[in-house]
A and B are shown apart, each in its own frame.
Chain A
Amino acid sequence: MNRRPDLYNVYLLEILALFADKGISIQTAATTNTTEGEMKNLMDLCSLLLPIDALLDHSDFHPDHSPSSLLTTRFRNMWFICVLFNFTPSPQRASCMTEWHIGALSRIAEKTPPIVLEEAYDFITTDLEFNPVLREDYLEKVRCIVPWNPSCLHARPRQRPCTRPL
């Protein structure tokens, strides 16, 4: 990879897209009551942080300097998924986050471009409310969970169709 710096950006875009797809599939699986492989899926998602960190570690790669809007969107989606699954520092941090992953996430934060664009038209509606990486039915399900009752995650899902475009 060191020999082809022109491919850094393409590779980063692909890994970030894979991260978002994996995050969406975990949410879909959780809402359809298939919880058996959830922990393994979360570990797979965590492990994707390491190649992103390794790519951003190149001293001649600065995606935070004049990023494209596509790259900004993909970084934003990656961070939304990290927050959704508690990968970031929070009172109930995901158990799959080891010291390596925590260090990698901090280094990714350093090279993350600004996730809010000034020129984004209707940011709240387009990029937040109708963001396909945040499934409404999953968020509704997570909302019912209170910190003292984590077993609620495996409760029967609400019979409500997803209203977001996927």
Chain B
Amino acid sequence: MHKATLTKYIPLKASDIKALIPAQVIFLLTFHDLETMCSSRGYVASITTYFLNKGANSRESLSSCMDSIAEKVMRGCLNELNTRAMQHSLPVTISSELQKLLVASCHRIARARDIAGKYLHRMITSLPSLMCDEPLVCAILEVLTLLRRACEGEYMDEVCLYYSFAVDPPKPFPVQSSPLLHINKIEPYD
């Protein structure tokens, strides 16, 4: 029953869903239902947290289904936000949530970064009025400033390590009074 529901949500991934065990199906449905509820109330940034775990990212069939679910949640959320924007009733939390997405778009884990970047890009493209929000614009400028400083710092505070290898010169032998010295001092025969 749960597999049929999941297949209804993401029909293009039907072959991947067949390979999933029931517990993974429940997890994917939880991801879908929980994020749909959160995003409909204006909490959009939590979607990136599902892509942080190494174990979940490494399973091919599971991670491809997670991508499709994220895509579906994003589409549903954007449709709803578009409707609400026309009625001038966007959720008040949207500004802080977009700032969280902006921070997540610089995350060190590539999948979380990609999802956050994609979500943010779509939000701002479909709702340009979001760029009138001062805290969001300041956050974007701050991220850009950090990026510029990081790029400059790469050259200004560059650390280049040069290695030079050398062998210590051999120590001289201790001078001793040897019979040879005496021999050298012997005057030659006439």
Binding site for B on A (CB under 8 A): 76, 79-80, 82-84, 88-92, 105-106, 109-110, 112, 114-118, 120-125, 128-129, 131, 134, 136, 139-140, 142-143, 145-147
Contact of B34 among A109, A118, A121 (CB under 8 A): A109
Contact of B26 among A84, A109, A110 (CB under 8 A): A84
Residue of A nearest to B43 (CB): A110
Chain B facing A: main interface SS: helix
B24 contacts across to A, CB distance below 8 A? 124, 128-129
Q: Is the CB of B26 within 8 A of A116?
A: no
A79 contacts across to B, CB distance below 8 A? 30, 33-34
Separation of A120 and B27 alpha carbons in the complex (Å): 15
- Chain B nearest CB from A8 CB (Å) reads 20
Separation of A112 and B24 alpha carbons in the complex (Å): 20
Q: Is the CB of B37 within 8 A of A88?
A: yes
Q: Count contacts between A and B, CB distance < 8 Å.
A: 104
Q: Is the CB of A124 within 8 A of B30?
A: no
Separation of A76 and B49 alpha carbons in the complex (Å): 13
Q: Is the CB of A116 within 8 A of B49?
A: yes
Separation of A88 and B29 alpha carbons in the complex (Å): 9
Binding site for A on B (CB under 8 A): 1-5, 8, 21-24, 26-27, 29-30, 33-34, 36-38, 40-41, 43, 46, 49-50, 52-53, 55-56, 59, 62, 109
Residue of A nearest to B46 (CB): A114
Q: Is the CB of A90 within 8 A of B37?
A: no
